[in-house]
Amino acid sequence: MPRYFLELSYKGTRYSGFQIQENAPTIQWEVEKSLKILLRETIACTGSSRTDAGVHAICNFFHFDTDVEIPEALVYRLNAILPPDIAVRSLRRMHPQAHCRFDAVSRTYRYVLYSRKDPFADDRGWFYPYPLDASVLATVAGIVMDTADFTSFSKRNTQVRTFICSIRESRWEQSEAGWVYHVRGNRFLRGMVRGLVGTMLQAGRGKMGVAAFRDVITSMDNRNVDFTPPGRGLFLMDVGFEDGYFGRVTVARQEA
């Protein structure tokens, strides 16, 4: 059966996350509902990266299987019936064994802080009007890159086989509005990016020393981690695959 990859962007403010849930609006529910309307069959989607309530995505992927003939205008039609805060970017036909989650080699996130009250940034960042030590932030971000076991930064009741993650980028950048944290790795645990952000901010404010930050990592205890940063400041920027993974086959793209 043919397999298709959907690339999409969304603003997560109104949703209880990416993955379908009972009695809650989610990105997956909206996409599956729209595909069912257009293809006239029940479609089950698999996501490449799960995002929590309020979290946004510049790029994320679903894949689904169907024998129904896919019209060239499917992307246009999907965008016509999806809510304004979800946009399909492209649709690609893949080989049947392609898997948008297991074949992905990287995920890139950013977390946005703004330091002056801004009504237009309220749902796309975290208002954080506190002075931060740039050198301390740089130091603890570097420690993150030197870490492999992120047990401390995983929320409880997470069903994973391993807490090992390979972080290839971890850095803070100061902007006119505030601060942005950039992080890229092969995988992330539930709540991990927000836990990293919250705990590094404690160090940046002088409430925790660099040595204490290292102790949080080695403690393997998430009770020492600050998970308070809200989802609205977090963006999934990209899901990466090996060069040439998609080849040249694209069924349809969103019109420019």
Task: Return d(Cα 65, Cα 63) in angstroms, integer.
Answer: 7
Q: Using alpha carbons only, what angle is made at residue 28 by residues 253 and 120, rounded to the nearest 5 degrees?
A: 80
Query: The tokens of 100 are what?
Result: 């948008």
Task: Report the DSSP beta bridge partners of residue 24.
Answer: 21
Annotated catalytic residue, options 52, 133, 146, 215 = 52
What SS3 state is found at 198? Answer: helix
Task: Report the DSSP beta bridge partners of residue 234.
Answer: 111
Long-range contacts of range 165-170, CB-CB < 8 Å, 24 or more positions apart?
165/189, 165/192, 168/106, 169/108, 169/145, 170/141, 170/142, 170/144, 170/145, 170/196
Strands (E), the chain: 3-10, 46-47, 56-65, 86-94, 106-114, 126-127, 167-174, 178-185, 234-240, 252-253
243 classed as catalytic: no
Catalytic residues, by residue number, are 52
